[in-house]
Structure 1
Amino acid sequence: MVVQNSDISEVFEQIADLMEIKGDNPFKIRAYRNAARTIGGMPHSVADMVTQGEDLSTITGIGKALAQKMEEIVATGTHSLLHKLKEELPADLLLMLKIPTLGPKRVKALHSKLGITTLEELELAARAGKIRTLDGFGVKTEQGIRAELERLQTTEQRLKLVVAEQIATVLTGYLKELPGLSDIEVAGSYRRRKETVGDLDILVARDREAPIMDHFTTYQEVERILMKGETKSSVVLRSGLQVDLRVVPHRSFGAALQYFTGSQTHNIAIRSRAQKMKLKVNEYGVFKGEEQIAGRSEEDVYTALGLPYIEPELRENRGEIEAALDNRLPRLVSLPDIQGELHSHTTYSDGLCSITEMALAAQARGYEYLAITDHSQRLTIAHGLTVPRLRQQLQEIDYLADKMKGIVLLKGIEVDILDDGSLDLPDEILRELDIVIGAVHSKFKLPLSQQTERIIKAMDNPLLHIIAHPSGRLINERAPYDVDMDKIITAARDRGCFLELNAYPDRLDLNDIYCKAAKEMGVKIAISTDAHSLRDLDNIRYGLGQARRGWLEPEDVLNTHNLENLTKLLQR
């Protein structure tokens, strides 16, 4: 059994949820949630660390007790505490938490006051109008619960990209242990960096005969073999993810990679162009009559069709072929373009690391600047900063400015946007900051017009620079709130504001469609990790994948600018 980081993170999240439903110690609950976030965002495997005998308590925010629990999870796939909590509470209470309007406190109320223990009982209570009678619920909440229950029954189950990446990394590492393989690639929506992945398509070319299919189908995470052949096999992993493995000849590897990367609509357009050129293109190559004229590499495939290479993230048939023909393909933003981080948290609010630790980690990545943007006072659950505590932090940043070499610390805040569009801190203190990020953390169910005006009113304040995670969605967990994003983008352009692409893998917000719309309106995007720990800074790669899907070039991104230009851009 291979335990992924996402498995450990999920166990800790479930422990925290069940403890909160029970009403346990809030500090313990927070420790489990922080650990879940830390482990879920780590780029390397905790299971590998255990195998190599590394001390897990050296991970920031992980003490000896949590490290021991992680070792148990790696060994067994679960934890005795989670098993104990599940025995004490009905199993469906965890499923109820997948409904965006239901946090642990509301699930506790439903269970204790209405005796609800299953999703079926929840649906019956909603239909009978019983939920609206509870304090803090109401008619709209009840209607929302019904709607979400219907959505959960029909939604296709897709894994978040970060989870699929962890699975793919371990599996491809396992496949590479077999001698004689080369050119191994994961294709499909995974390679196009879509925010969720339905299955994995793995392509392999081999230099000599090797028992690849036996090796693949005996992988210890395989739960079920759907089919096994000489050139293609399909399995379902313990995670529920289907994986297809195809073995292709070297001469066809590029054509197969292009074909299985997709998207389907992109490939249809490619085949249509080939037909007009009296060519045939498929997973085996590009053919003129019976002669294969391209296929060893993807570049050769596109060249044979009279096109420059089209990056995988662009292959959604959203104008990329027309842009290629007109020599208008974007030079997509990449990691070397990023000059700094504009959204980070420290131990002053709900971060796991000190200002110094975050600064040194950003400096190690070659960043020129790091914005310290802890939460404002309204977000009490995250120990948001009051004016006196913010001033204390500003003094520490001033002190560190004389000590830190090679990186500049920007004074900032992630300030709550209140119901009426006002900001959670007075202008007097906001004027002292280099960067102000506005965020909606409450009242997600406001009507579309009211939610939209709320955010636009916040942008009316000339001290606000960036709107964080603009749609509020959590992938597979919470739907976006009702907001007119076209109006938000237009308002940002008219007011000289910027929008964030939050790179945290559960958010990836803005989505790719609105990133492209912002680009076309001339609104720059801040690709930010919303880092709460040192390792969270690595999540920039997920944001870059989303940005590339949105056609963003370096000039479209706020934090590709050096500090001098950034300072000018932030002067509204």
Structure 2
Amino acid sequence: MPINNDDIADVLTELADLLEIQGANTFRVRAYRNAARTVSSLSEDVGGYISSGKDLSDLPGIGKDLAGKIEQILGTGSLPMLEDLKKEVPEDLSRLLDVGGLGPKRVATMYKELGVESLDDLEKAAKDGKIRDLEGFGKKTEESILEGIQRVKQQKRGRIRLDKADRIAEPLLEYLRKNDDIKSLDVAGSYRRRKETVRDIDILATCKKGTDVMKYFSDYEDVEKVVAEGETKSSVLLRSGIQVDLRVMPQVSFGAAMVYFTGSKEHNIALRKIAIRKKWKVNEYGIFKGDDRLAGKTEEEIYDRLGMAYVPPELREDRGEIEAAQKDKLPDILQQDDIRGDLHCHSKYTDGHNTIEEMAKAAKDLGYDYMAMTDHSKRVTVAHGLKPEDVERQIAEIDKLNKKLKDFTILKGTEVDILKDGSLDLPDETLEKLDIVVCSIHSYFDLSRSEQTERVIKAMKNKHFNILGHPSGRLINEREPLQLDMEKIVKAAKDNGCFLEVNSHPDRLDLTDINCKMAKDMGVKVVISTDSHQVNHLDYIRFGVSQARRGWLEKKDVLNTHTLKQLHSMLKKK
């Protein structure tokens, strides 16, 4: 079986988890975590990277020793060091880290003090009231753990983040396209609508008559199990645990099938009601009046026949797109080429893996006009956050680089922490020297809805506050969003001349699509940034653009689609 980047990253992450639970050296643990992030963000498979003659040890955070371990995983699917560690530390302990609020130190404490080795052990200890008596825990923590256990149990089967779905779908599509018998091929479902998590992958195809495309599909090297195999539909389970369905449709019905299987269910019901009013029938094979097919070959043909403009897949959620399409008033939603710069990036000054110059050159290579360097402020000690004197040193370096770079500008910025009381983590005299200030929450996640909301609103009143970074603080499938009144937050942003970030990092995608639409409706512009910690992360912008498109955002709604001169003007608070 092939070993992909996610497989390698999973091994390295599990190793880091178990080492940290065991109490290993912090720098050693961090090295494995950084290596996992580097591997998972590579745009090509590690195997292909090595076979093309590139040296893994040249990648950020990966030296000769780690490169050797990655090659071991690539060759065998496992790592002897991890297998040895599992004999010393129960591997199920790392699963407890899925429970919100539990880090390796707390897991280690419960393992040593209470003998907790599994999720069931944890739930029993919490229900028996044993956790509250541990030093540094308490009743509130115990209640939070019980809530976290329920969230883990309630997580939908196999829903994976969009970036992981990309890494599964793209090589499979590439494999299928090599089959000359396949004429048309596309992905449907929630994947095509670019939802932030995906359960299954639905692929539609047309092919030449008399060909065995289904056999070719089930022979794909990553298939672990063939669930069902027929002439027009087959289902397989991949090693990742995700199910992929392949349907072969007649060419004359391909457009109708794409509409039907792309969904959403609610969107399709709305289309069906329109057809019923016309005494027609619409399904995956087309639009029919009696036995006569009225449309079906293309999606555009389906929408046109139903009396509306073509609806982009990202908008198909029955949130007003049907009515807008009927009136030909759909938004001209954002395109990735509209983005002119990235306004949230990190460097080696804090927890990034590249120098400022390396980040700037990579951003310029993407065709950007500008990039903001926004390293962490001092409160984020784990990321070696910058003190005022460090910011001064970085400002001086950026000034030198801007004289050196041609047709590109590095903006001087910071990602400053919003403290518990709503004040900012750097003094005004430091912030006023910067071009851009991204303000984020990295602590005190458990404040009440009113406390958390007032904390953010107070921070927004600071004259240097420009952008609210990753507003809800959520981590997809890992951490619940903060308790915030988003309507009040958006209104405060408008009142105080602030902007909201759509953080493109695939474990955040924050703002949500719903809140993007709210910001648009309330007249607040957003910023689509990547929160890049290495040059490879700059490519994450595509996920933020998809999120913005789902939120009906147009070019005019996004701050960093503007020129540098316009940007400077818009960042100045009145």
Q: Same fold (TM over 0.5)?
A: yes
**Do the aligned partners of 1:50 and 1:71 also contact (CA within 8 Å) in 2?**
no
Partner of 1:196: 197
Contact 1:6/1:40 (<8 A) preserved: yes
CA–CA distance in structure 2, aligned partners of residues 204 and 102 of structure 1: 45
In structure 1, distance between residues paired with 2:305 and 2:82: 57
Letter in 2 for 1:96: L
Offset of residue 3 of structure 1: 2.2
Are the aligned partners of 1:38 and 1:536 in contact in 2 as well (CA < 8 Å)? no
Q: Deviations over 1:310-353 (max 9, x none)?
A: 00000000000001112210111111100100000000000000
Partners of 1:527 and 1:191 lie apart in 2 by 20
- Alignment check: 8 A CA contact 1:222 1:238 kept: yes
1:42, 1:535 within 8 Å by CA — same for their partners in 2? yes
Paired amino acid for 2:343: L
Q: Deviations over 1:57-82 (max 9, x none)?
A: 23333222222222222222232222
The aligned counterpart of 2:399 is: 398
Residue identity in the other structure for 2:72: E
Counterpart residue number, 1:440: 441
Q: Which residue of 2 aligns with 1:551?
A: 552
Q: Which residue matches 1:223? A: 224
Note if 1:372 corresponds to 2:350. no
Give the letter aligned to residue 121 of structure 2.
Answer: E
Alignment deviations for residues 466-505 of structure 1 (CA, whole Å, 9 cap, x no partner): 1111111110111112111111111111111111110000
Please show how residues 304-319 of structure 1 align to structure 2 within 5 Å.
304-319=305-320
Equivalent residue number for residue 328 of structure 1: 329
**Given that residues 181 and 213 in structure 2 are in contact (C-alpha distance below 8 angstroms), is that contact kept between their aligned partners in structure 1?**
no
Q: Distance in 1 between matches of 2:191 and 2:184?
A: 17
Counterpart residue type for residue 355 of structure 1? I
AA of the residue aligned to 1:292 = R
Counterpart code for 1:389: D
- Is 1:16 matched up with 2:20? no
Aligned residues: 572
Q: CA deviation at 1:228?
A: 0.7
Of 51-60 and 429-438, the range deviating more from structure 2: 51-60
> Could you report, residue by residue, the CA deviation over 1:400-436 in whole angstroms, capped at 9, with x for unpaired residues?
1110111111000001111111111111100100001
1:208 positional shift:
4.5
Render the CA deviation track for 1:245-291: whole Å, top value 9, x for unaligned. Answer: 00112111111111100001100101111122232221111223322
1:520 matched to 2:521? The reply is yes
Deviations for 1:114-150, whole angstroms, at most 9, x for unmatched residues? Answer: 2222222211211122212222222111101001112
Please give the residue correspondences for 1:163-242 in structure 2 after superposition, counting only pairs within 5 Å: 163-242=164-243
1:149 aligns with 2:174: no
CA drift of 1:165 comes to 0.8
**Distance (Å, rounded) in 2 between the aligned partners of 1:298 and 1:2:** 36
> Aligned partner of 2:290: which letter?
G
- How big is each residue's C-alpha offset from its partner over 1:35-88, in whole Å with a ceiling of 9 and x where there is no partner? 222222222222322344532223333222222222222222232222222221
- The aligned amino acid for 1:538 is D
Query: More deviation in 533-542 or 485-494?
Result: 485-494
Does 1:279 pair with 2:280? yes
Cα RMSD of the aligned pairs, angstroms, is: 1.3
Give the superposition deviation at 1:173: 1.7
- Cross-structure match for 2:45: 45
Q: Secondary structure at the match of 1:410?
A: strand
Aligned partner letter, 1:40? S
1:160 partnered with 2:188: no
Per-residue deviation, residues 214-269 of structure 1 (Å, max 9, x unmatched) = 11122232222221100001111111111110011211111111110000110010
The residue type equivalent to 2:515 in the other structure is Y
The aligned counterpart of 2:25 is 25
How big is the shift at 1:14? 1.4
| Greater Cα offset, 445-454 or 337-346 | 445-454
Indicate whether 1:421 and 2:422 are aligned. Answer: yes
Which stretch shows the higher mean deviation, 312-321 or 78-87? 78-87
Matches within 5 A, 1:120-135: 120-135=120-135
Cα distance between partner residues in 1 of 2:336 and 2:392: 33
Structure 1 residues 446-525: aligned runs within 5 Å: 446-525=447-526
CA–CA separation in structure 1 for the residues paired with 2:286 and 2:52:
43
Distance apart, 1:29 and its partner CA: 1.6
CA distance in 2, matches of 1:74, 1:334: 37
Aligned residue number for residue 73 of structure 2: 73
Query: Whole-Å Cα distance in 1 between the matches of residues 249 and 50 of structure 2?
Result: 36
Whichever residue aligns with residue 238 of structure 1, its letter is: R
1:375 Cα deviation after fit: 0.4
CA contact (8 A) 2:18 2:91 kept: no
Alpha-carbon displacement from aligned partner over 1:131-186 (angstroms, at most 9, x marks no partner): 12222222111101001112222221301111111011121122223221122111
CA displacement at 1:92 relative to structure 2: 1.9
What one-letter code is carried by the residue in structure 2 that aligns with 1:396?
A: E
Partners of 2:200 and 2:243 within 8 A in 1: yes
Asked if the contact 1:374/1:385 (under 8 Å) is kept, the reply is: yes
Shift of 1:521: 0.5
1:119 alignment partner in structure 2: 119
Say if 2:403 is the partner of 1:408.
no
2-side partners of 1:218 and 1:210: how far apart?
15
In structure 1, the partner of 2:36 is 36
Separation of aligned partners in 2, 1:154 and 1:399 = 52
Q: Return the alpha-carbon distance in structure 2 between the equivalents of residues 475 and 326 of structure 1.
A: 36
- Aligned equivalents of 1:15 and 1:71: distance in 2? 15
Contact 2:453 2:484 in 1 (8 A): yes
Identify unmatched segments of 5+ residues in structure 2: none
CA distance in 2, matches of 1:392, 1:284: 64
Preserved CA contact (<8 Å) 2:308 2:328: no
Q: Does 1:568 align with 2:562?
A: no
Contact 1:459/1:497 (<8 A) preserved: yes
CA contact (8 A) 2:343 2:527 kept: yes
Cα separation, 1, equivalents of 2:567 and 2:135: 47
Question: Whole-Å Cα distance in 2 between the matches of residues 279 and 43 of structure 1?
Answer: 46
CA contact (8 A) 1:161 1:190 kept: yes
CA apart distance, 1:2: 2.5
Q: Relative to structure 2, which stretch is displaced further, 536-545 or 27-36? A: 27-36
Report the counterpart of residue 388 of structure 1 in structure 2.
389
Deviates further, 136-145 or 530-539: 136-145
Which residue does 1:107 correspond to in 2?
107
Distance between the aligned counterparts of 1:549 and 1:110, measured in 2?
42
Specify whether residues 402 and 51 from structure 1 end up closer, same or farther in structure 2 by C-alpha distance, changes over 3 A only: closer
Equivalent position of 2:94 in the other structure: 94
Distance 1:528 1:173 in 2: 29
Specify the SS of the correspondent of 2:345: coil
State, as a whole percentage, how many aligned pairs show the same letter: 54
Q: Which amino acid aligns with 1:23?
A: G
Letter in 2 for 1:511: T
Aligned partner of 2:353 in structure 1 is 352
Whether contact under 8 Å (2:475, 2:507) holds in the other structure is: yes
SS at match of 1:342: strand
Q: In structure 2, what is the Cα distance between the partners aligned to 1:277 and 1:570?
A: 51
Q: Check the 8 A contact 2:308/2:327 in 1, yes or no.
A: no
Residue 61 (structure 1) aligned with residue 61 (structure 2): yes
